[in-house]
Amino acid sequence: MEAMSVKLFAMTCGRITGRLKDMIEGEDGTVLLPIPSYLIEHPKGTVLFDTGMHPQLQHDAPGRLGERVARIFGFETFQPGDEVSARLEAIDHDPGKVHYIVNSHLHFDHCGGNQLIPNATLVVQRREWAAAQDAELAAKVGFYRQDIDHGHPVIQADGEHDLFGDGRVVCIPTHGHTPGHQSLRVRLDSGEVVLAGDACYFCRSLRGRRLPRFVYDREAMLASLDRLAALEQGGARIFFGHDAEFWKSVPQAPEAIF
C-alpha cells in the first residue's frame, strides 16, 4: 500500500527588526527578520515547527523581555493576527488540535507561541531542556521561563528523533546556537526539506560559514553548518531561519510547499 503524503505549510508569524551585526559576522545596519512557523500534516498527526512570539510583544515587549532586549529588537511589525494561533485559524486549523510542537530551540521568537497551542506534546532536545531548567545557564543563553513551561507533555530527544517512525519527520541535532538546538528534516513527495531554524540564519551564513555575534558554542555551530551543507549536497532544500530574501520565495499557507 502506498504511503500517504506529508504536506508542509509555511506561516509568517510577524516580523521584527534587529541589528545585522548580531546576526552575521562582518555586516552592519538594520535588518527586517521574518518569524517563521511551519505546519506539517502527516497521516498520523499534525506538527508545528516553532511557534513564533507571544502576543504580549505586540504591546508590551519590555514587560515580557526586559528593557534591554526590547531596545535591541523592534516589534512594531508584529501585529494582532500574526501570532501562530491566528495563522492556524486562518487556514482552518484548530490550535487546540495540533499534536506536536517541535521547538528548534527555546528563544522567545521560536517558542513564544507555545502557550497558544495548549494540547500538543512538546519535542525538544534533552540538552536544551536541561539548559532551560538551569536558571543561571538559561539567563546566559536568553531563555525566558514564561515562554517555556506551560504544562505540555515533553519528549526530550537525545540526538535524532523520528517523530512518526517512518523517516518522514525527523528531528536532527544542530547544536551551537544554543546548547541543544535542533533542525527538522521533512521528506515530501518532491524530496527532502530541512527546516534549519537558527542553526543557519541566512543563505550567506551557510555559504560563507559566517556565524552570529552571540553563539553558545562556535565549534558546534560550525559543525552544524557543515551538516546542513552535507544535507544540501545530498539533495535536501535548506530553509533558512530568518532570511528575508529567501523567505520571499517560500509559498505561504494555505499553499503547500512542494
Residue 81 has pLDDT above 60, yes or no: yes
Residue 1 has pLDDT above 60, yes or no: no
CATH code, residues 7-247: 3.60.15.10
Report the C-alpha gap between 115 and 127 in whole angstroms: 21
> What does the domain layout of the chain look like in residue ranges?
7-247
- Tell me the three state secondary structure of residue 198: coil
Question: How many other CB atoms sit within 10 Å of the CB of residue 73?
Answer: 19
Q: What is the DSSP letter of 56?
A: G
Do 201 and 208 meet the contact criterion of CB atoms below 8 Å apart? no
Query: Across residues 194-219, what is the average pLDDT?
Result: 95
pLDDT for res 4: 74
Query: Across residues 151-157, what is the average pLDDT?
Result: 97
- Tell me the three state secondary structure of residue 207: helix
pLDDT for res 149: 86
Q: What are the pLDDT digits (tens) for 92-131?
A: 999 999 999 999 999 999 999 999 999 999 999 999 999 9
197: left (phi over 0), alpha (psi -120 to 50) or beta: left
Residue 2 has pLDDT above 90, yes or no: no
> Grid coordinates 495563522 are at which residue?
87
pLDDT for res 26: 86
